[in-house]
Amino acid sequence: MTKPNPIRPVIPPEDHIFVDDVRKSFGATKVLKGITLHLRRKETAVIIGGSGAGKTTLLRLLIGLEQPTTGHIWVDGEDMAYLDEVQMNKMRQKFGMVFQYAALLDSLTVLDNVAFPLREHRAKMGSSAIKDKVVSMLNLLGLENKENRMPSELSGGQRKRVGLARALMLEPQILIYDEPTSGLDPLTSRMVDDLIEETRDRFGITSVVISHDMASTFRIAHQAFLVVQGKVIAEGKPDELAHGDNEEARAFIAASGVNTDNVSRVTDAKPSPNRPEREPERE
């Protein structure tokens, strides 16, 4: 039976994604309890929260792997819950996913890892054209002459860039990052933060970052959302969360131990260079 189309709310034109009072339950367990988010075009939104807050469930809803129990997720004015299979597959191609640990296939070269989405979704694209596109993207991300390397031959930061290159192959409008700085040393974490912003600037992409890294949040977020027990309890610029009236948000940020006075902000960032700085070659 076809679902009736919902009444389309008035969505601000700057909203790329509007999460409208979304609730998600698994049996009797209520994971999300009325999430509303306005995620603006060509900005970086960071969703923060502790373990069990519901961030992973929200991520799965955003990319269409789960459906809300109630509520709606509007992307470019379309409600994802009311798309048929063909429409949903087309919608998913607006999204790119950068996984927590890059999720590269260790048995494949960098070229084959990055080419994977093209071979899956661009059946008419020839091998030579695929290789050219992959190499061009690798070069753009500072990975010249790495196409024949195996993932085990790359540094952690280089693996992150390969994962990003793969996510960009289908030219998405929205990139979802799952804990992009998890497990990285401070220097590499800073490089990944810079890469997120350089990518947003260069490709005009809307970035949604799931994170627990408060230093990263202050560096890259135009807007931050603190999720606690399935609810957004505070939202705004990171400095507004750190110094605002919400006591729980202030306590969450203070508990991270980050000296927010010493963290650069996205508004402080210098214009992106033509190409990310190179990391030292891995021995």
Q: What is the pLDDT along the chain (283 residues), one digit of tens a residue?
A: 455 556 778 888 999 999 999 999 999 999 999 999 999 999 999 999 988 889 999 999 998 889 999 999 999 989 998 888 898 888 988 999 988 777 888 999 999 999 999 998 887 889 999 999 999 999 988 899 999 999 999 988 888 889 999 999 999 999 999 988 887 788 888 888 988 999 899 899 999 999 988 889 999 999 999 999 999 999 999 999 988 899 999 998 888 888 777 676 765 444 444 434 444 444 4
Whole-number Å distance between alpha carbons of 69 and 279? 45
Q: What pTM was computed for the model?
A: 0.85
Strand-pairing partners, residue 234, are 226
What residue has token string 């009325």? 34
Per-chain mean pLDDT for the chain: 87
Q: pLDDT for 27-55, tens place per residue?
A: 999 999 999 999 999 999 999 998 888 99
φ, ψ dihedrals at 188, nearest 5° = -70, -35
Q: Where are the domains of the chain?
A: 107-164
Helical ranges in 122-185 per DSSP H:
127-140, 156-168
φ, ψ dihedrals at 166, nearest 5° = -60, -45
